[in-house]
Amino acid sequence: MTKKLYYDDPYIKSFSTKCKMKVQDEEGWFVVLEETAFYPTGGGQPYDVGLLNNVGVYRVEERKGEVRHYIKDPLPINEGDRIEGSINWTRRFDHMQQHAGQHLLSAAFEELFQYETVGFHLGETHLTIDLNIDQLTIDQAFKAEQLSNQIILENRQIDTRWVNEQDLSDYPLRKMPTVSEDIRLVVIDNFDYNGCGGTHPSSTGQIRAIKILGWERQRTKIRIQFICGERVLSQFQSKHKLLVSLGSLLHSSEETMVEAVERLQQKEKNLEKSLESEKEKVMEAEVQGLMKNKMNVNGHSLICTVYKGRSMQDLQKITRMIVENNEYVIAFVVCEYEKQLRFVLGRGKNVEVNVKEIGNHLIKHINGKGGGNEAFIQGGGEKVVLGEELLEFGLVLFKQLKN
């Protein structure tokens, strides 16, 4: 068993001990020491990183009471040799702040609303707790955050004590520990009593601050995202920077930023609207131009054209505009793309030709798909011929129609 120095003193940043063994497993080289200040993954708290004789420790895991320090290089040391360890204090102290902050926030939800914490995760940017409830109000979240920050401000002592099962009745525990002997209790003076093997600062003041960022429903639970300690300051700094950049882009102060964005959105809507109406006018002129090239095929009056790369929506609109204003006319619009062909066929209300019949022939000709009715049909398929050729093919079909 490795003696865990952080149990008695979580502030040890460097230490000297003896190497118990050096082994290689599927993950890499690791060393086991007689004692260690490195915290291994556990209880929702991530492992420490640091140095052993100036070689980087990139991961620390516990297996059957033995703490394995995974090292980047196989150290030139043997069993029994002395070894100097130092841990990355910035990372560790951040974990201490986040972890102790979690104790506080969970206790606050329990104290105020009897909401029980059933899950905890400490991530790179924020941490989460899962409460076994299916709804949380803004007011409740605010009150729990406020109480946690009040306990921080009061700078209460955080103690650890070793107790046995029979001593547990002396403490108002929120949850029974999973082990029955050598239980490590973490006590936040007059506020929270918890069985925990993690590292914590010695007073609540060192947690600095707690800020809830948001929450979401996860099946039958509510998952709350929050940050503690230096993360509150660094996130404030980056959010502030973002607001300053947005303010300069929008030429507005923080107070008027929402209005500035709303104004922009309105402006965009208006622009879209006027663009739409201009487009309509252009299309009307276009249709007027097409009307000049009316042709007579087999006694039918046709307006035909071939486009390149236009949207189906445009093709339909042009066809409708032609036949709505010309009740004796058939409109036949073809469009060519890189690998496809599309067409739209429509008839004015006094034309008796079944354009669906012709349309179906065209669809078949281009191995395509489409649909419509006797008065209006559209289709699209492969570019087996050019657009002009499809138009010619269609005109032949019109010529073959019996009058």
Nearer to Zn ion by Cβ, of 144 and 186: the residue is 186
Written as six digits, the tokens of 335 are 């469009």
Closest distance between Zn ion and the C-beta of residue 11, in Å?
Answer: 16
What is the nearest approach in angstroms of Zn ion to the Cβ of residue 99? 5
Per the DSSP assignment, residues forming a β-bridge with 233 are none
Residues 294-313, interacting with Zn ion (CB under 5 A): none
Q: How far is CA 252 from the centre of its chain?
A: 28
Applying CB under 5 A, which part among 26-34, 135-143, 193-201, 332-340 lies near Zn ion? Answer: 193-201
Tokens (6 digits) for 256:
């008027």
CB 292 within 8 A of CB 307: no
* Closer residue to Zn ion in complex, CB, 2/102: 102
Q: Is residue 121 a contact partner of residue 127, using CB atoms and an 8 Å limit?
A: yes
Of the listed pieces 81-89, 131-139, 198-206, 226-234, which binds Zn ion according to CB under 5 A?
198-206
Contact present, 35 and 3 (Cβ < 8 Å): yes
CA-to-CA distance for 109 and 212, rounded, in angstroms? 12
- Within 8 A by CB and 6+ apart from 403, the residues are 298, 299
Residue 48: exposure state from Cβ atoms within 10 A (0-12, 13-18, ≥19): buried
Closer residue to Zn ion, CB minimum distance, 196 or 351: 196
Binding positions for Zn ion, 102-131, rule CB under 5 A: none
- Closer to Zn ion by Cβ: residue 198 or 381: 198
Judged by CB under 5 A, the stretch of 162-170, 182-190, 288-296, 349-357 that binds Zn ion is 182-190
User: Among 136-144, 159-167, 180-188, 309-317, which window interacts with Zn ion (CB under 5 A)?
Assistant: 180-188
101 binds Zn ion (CB under 5 A): no
| 196 lies in the site for Zn ion, by CB under 5 A | yes
Nearer to Zn ion, 195 or 380 (CB): 195
C-alpha distance from residue 130 to each of 2, 175, 215, 378 (Å): 32, 15, 9, 55
Helices 138-153 and 89-113 sit at what angle, rounded to 10 degrees? Answer: 120
Q: Using the minimum distance from each CB to Zn ion, give the nearer residue, 198 or 359.
A: 198
Report yes or no: 195 and 179 within 8 Å, Cβ to Cβ: yes
CB 177 within 8 A of CB 168: yes
198 binds Zn ion (CB under 5 A): yes
Residue nearest to Zn ion (CB): 196
Name the DSSP letter for residue 336. Answer: E
Closest distance of CB 30 from Zn ion, Å:
25
Using CB under 5 A as the binding rule, whether residue 201 contacts Zn ion is answered as no
In the complex with Zn ion, the residue whose CB is nearer, 10 or 380, is 10
In the bound state with Zn ion, the residue whose beta carbon lies nearer, of 104 and 196, is 196
118: Cα separation from own chain's centroid: 23
- State how far the alpha carbon of 236 is from the alpha carbons of 227, 240, 398, in Å: 11, 6, 72
Smaller CB distance to Zn ion: residue 186 or 212?
Answer: 186
Q: Which range in 21-29, 148-156, 172-180, 197-205 contacts Zn ion by CB under 5 A?
A: 197-205
- For the bound state, the minimum distance from the C-beta of residue 205 to Zn ion, rounded and expressed in Å, comes to 17
**Number of chain residues interacting with Zn ion (CB under 5 A):** 3
Q: Are 91 and 49 in contact (CB under 8 A)?
A: yes
Smallest separation (angstroms) from Zn ion to the CB of 66 = 22
Least Å from the CB of residue 199 to Zn ion: 8
Stretch that binds Zn ion, among 78-86, 150-158, 184-192, 265-273 (CB under 5 A): 184-192
Single-letter code of the amino acid located at 28: G
Residues that bind Zn ion (CB under 5 A): 186, 196, 198
